[in-house]
């Protein structure tokens, strides 16, 4: 099942995930064929006693294709039955479980409740007064082994640049799902925390999400929700009870292609790179302050990437934006078993140097997400030394500089062939995001590459 998750994650751009069990429907803010990235801050009331309100940073990356989509909690495939109906198959991240930073005292001595991954199937139908949908989800990564059935209603209201999505959802969660996250096992019981088995039950959520256009490219997002948990969950000795509330505020930049930007068909890019692990910080590498690629284990990476230009000469500037997805192989040189990694990101290229008409030179910066089948050795080693968490899913940065080989040697056939150097960087954003396992740290690989535009 890990292989299935890796394959599905590799099919699409970047995966934005929620900070609660039910997620934010920010993908609905964009029409079909859109791609966007940004970030959001979410504050929610924790269901666990003594933890109170918690804040979280969410990297937001959205893609809505004809047959594939990314929402704030899932990556999926969809098939339209007709104009008003569709069926879906998806993988969804369930963002429940033990807080990874400063867990409340009520959870002391209890085993870690892992975040889960669900496989799901859905059906939606548009009616005169809104959209109705039904979804079935089942845990597939061995966290809870639980299941959930959701019945969902939403409506859309348009007021000029403002779009609103009022929503209501009724969900039935089975015993295994509720008991895993909110039960107390016999071996975890204390005088103040008796053993408890949570049963199946119904949750009710009401929510309102909004999007407001700030010009052609920027979109301001917001949302509020309130969840009434089932009585069997509220009765747990580790649950605060009452209604769980949450609020989110975010900003998206729309990378969607616009015909006005095109002077020629969109370019397909094929990139290959090879590099070595580095103990240098990515900022120091970019400033050429530290460029050593020598580490005790001498681990290496090789990657093949495919990209597509989305916007050419943004706003008339010497700048393009592209979307990339890559499959990377970790050669750990015997330090641990070799592994694979999926990187998916948007990238901006600036090529406004004075000599651009003679030799086109680009400075690039990519930003997205990275999913590793096994946490890279250099990353795991550094995290263990600092007594920090590690996580397979982290943010991804890809700073590069390159030049046109064709311009350099005077060959028109090689004009769209670039040679360059870059840094493959995984980061947890200083431990600010529960989405990324509250990781404070990451890893860097300095690489050389060739990229060809077709």
**Whole-number pLDDT of residue 373:** 86
The DSSP annotation for 218-265 comes to EEEEEEEEEEE--HHHHTSTTB--SEEEEEEEEEEEE----GGG-SSP
Closest to 369 in 3D by CA, of 6, 96, 31, 66: 6
Burial of 52 (0-12, 13-18, 19+ CB in 10 A): exposed
Query: In angstroms, rounded to a whole number, what is the distance separating the alpha carbons of residues 109 and 187?
Result: 9
Could you tell me the fold of the domain covering 2-254?
A: Porin (2.40.160)
**Per-residue pLDDT tens listing for the chain (454 residues):** 443 333 333 333 333 333 345 555 565 666 776 778 888 898 989 999 999 888 888 888 777 878 887 776 678 898 887 778 999 999 888 888 888 788 899 999 999 998 888 999 999 999 988 899 999 999 998 899 999 999 999 998 888 889 998 999 999 999 999 999 999 999 999 999 999 999 999 999 999 999 999 988 899 999 999 999 999 999 999 999 889 999 999 998 888 765 544 445 678 999 999 999 999 999 899 888 998 988 898 999 999 999 989 888 888 899 999 989 999 999 999 999 999 999 988 899 999 999 999 999 999 999 988 888 899 999 999 888 888 888 888 889 999 999 999 999 999 999 999 999 999 999 988 777 777 777 888 999 999 999 999 9
**Whole-number pLDDT of residue 102:** 84
Query: In angstroms, rounded to a whole number, what is the distance separating the alpha carbons of residues 338 and 331?
Result: 5
**Whole-number pLDDT of residue 121:** 96
**Whole-number pLDDT of residue 47:** 93
Using an 8 Å Cβ cutoff, are 68 and 13 in contact? no
**Whole-number pLDDT of residue 37:** 84
Tens digit of each residue's pLDDT (9 = 90 or more) over 337-386? 999 999 988 899 999 999 999 999 999 999 988 888 899 999 999 888 88
Tens digit of each residue's pLDDT (9 = 90 or more) over 107-153? 999 999 988 889 999 999 999 888 999 999 999 988 999 999 999 99
**Whole-number pLDDT of residue 255:** 82
Query: In angstroms, rounded to a whole number, what is the distance separating the alpha carbons of residues 227 and 301?
Result: 44
Q: What is the mean pLDDT of the chain?
A: 87
The HSE-up count of residue 335 (CA atoms within 13 Å, CB side) is: 20
Using an 8 Å Cβ cutoff, are 122 and 87 in contact? yes
The ranges assigned to domains in the chain are: 2-254, 259-453
Burial of 41 (0-12, 13-18, 19+ CB in 10 A): middle
**Whole-number pLDDT of residue 392:** 85
Contacts of 77-86 with CB under 8 Å at 24 or more apart are: 83/126, 84/125, 84/126, 84/127, 85/123, 85/124, 85/125, 85/126, 86/123, 86/124
**Whole-number pLDDT of residue 21:** 53
**Whole-number pLDDT of residue 270:** 98
**Whole-number pLDDT of residue 28:** 61
Q: Do domains 2-254 and 259-453 have the same CATH topology?
A: yes
**Whole-number pLDDT of residue 244:** 92
- Strand segments (E) across 255-360: 268-278, 300-311, 319-331, 339-350
- E strand or H helix at 118: strand 116-127
Could you tell me the fold of the domain covering 259-453?
A: Porin (2.40.160)
């Amino acid at each position: 099942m890990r292989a299935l998750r890796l394959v599905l994650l590799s099919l699409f751009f970047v995966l934005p995930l929620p900070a609660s069990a039910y997620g934010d429907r920010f993908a609905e803010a964009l029409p079909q064929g859109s791609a966007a990235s940004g970030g959001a801050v979410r504050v929610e009331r924790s269901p666990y006693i003594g933890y109170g309100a918690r804040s979280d940073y969410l990297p937001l990356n959205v893609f809505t294709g004809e047959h594939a989509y990314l929402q704030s909690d899932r990556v999926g495939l969809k098939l339209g039955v007709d104009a008003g109906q569709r069926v879906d198959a998806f993988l969804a991240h369930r963002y429940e479980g033990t807080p990874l930073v400063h867990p409340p005292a009520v959870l002391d001595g209890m085993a870690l409740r892992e975040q889960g991954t669900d496989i799901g199937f859905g059906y939606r139908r548009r009616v005169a007064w809104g959209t109705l949908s039904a979804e079935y989800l089942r845990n597939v990564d061995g966290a809870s082994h639980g299941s959930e059935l959701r019945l969902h209603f939403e409506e859309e209201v348009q007021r000029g640049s403002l779009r609103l999505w009022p929503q209501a959802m009724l969900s039935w969660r089975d015993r295994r799902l509720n008991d895993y996250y909110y039960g107390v096992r016999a071996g975890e019981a204390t005088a103040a925390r008796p053993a408890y088995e949570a049963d199946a039950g119904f949750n009710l959520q009401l929510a309102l999400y909004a999007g407001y256009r700030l010009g052609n490219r920027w979109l301001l997002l917001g949302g509020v929700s309130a969840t009434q948990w089932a009585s069997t969950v509220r009765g747990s000795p580790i649950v605060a009870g009452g209604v769980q509330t949450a609020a989110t505020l975010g900003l998206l930049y729309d990378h969607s292609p616009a015909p006005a930007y095109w002077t020629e068909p969109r370019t397909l890019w094929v990139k290959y790179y090879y590099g070595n692990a580095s103990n240098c910080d990515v900022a120091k590498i970019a400033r050429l302050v530290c460029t050593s690629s020598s580490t005790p284990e001498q681990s290496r990476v090789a990657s093949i990437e495919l990209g597509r230009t989305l916007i050419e000469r943004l706003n008339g500037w010497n700048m393009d934006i592209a979307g990339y997805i890559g499959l990377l192989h970790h050669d750990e040189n015997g330090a641990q078993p070799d592994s694979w990694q999926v990187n998916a990101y948007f990238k901006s290229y600036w090529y406004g140097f004075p000599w651009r008409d003679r030799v086109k030179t680009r400075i690039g910066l990519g930003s997205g997400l990275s999913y590793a089948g096994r946490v890279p050795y250099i990353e795991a080693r550094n995290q263990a030394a600092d007594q920090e968490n590690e996580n397979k899913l982290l943010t991804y940065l890809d700073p590069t500089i390159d030049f046109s080989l064709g311009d350099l040697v005077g060959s028109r056939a090689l004009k769209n062939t670039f040679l360059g150097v870059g840094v493959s960087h995984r980061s947890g954003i200083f431990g600010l995001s529960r989405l990324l396992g509250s990781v404070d740290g990451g890893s860097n690989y300095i690489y050389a590459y060739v990229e060809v535009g077709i």
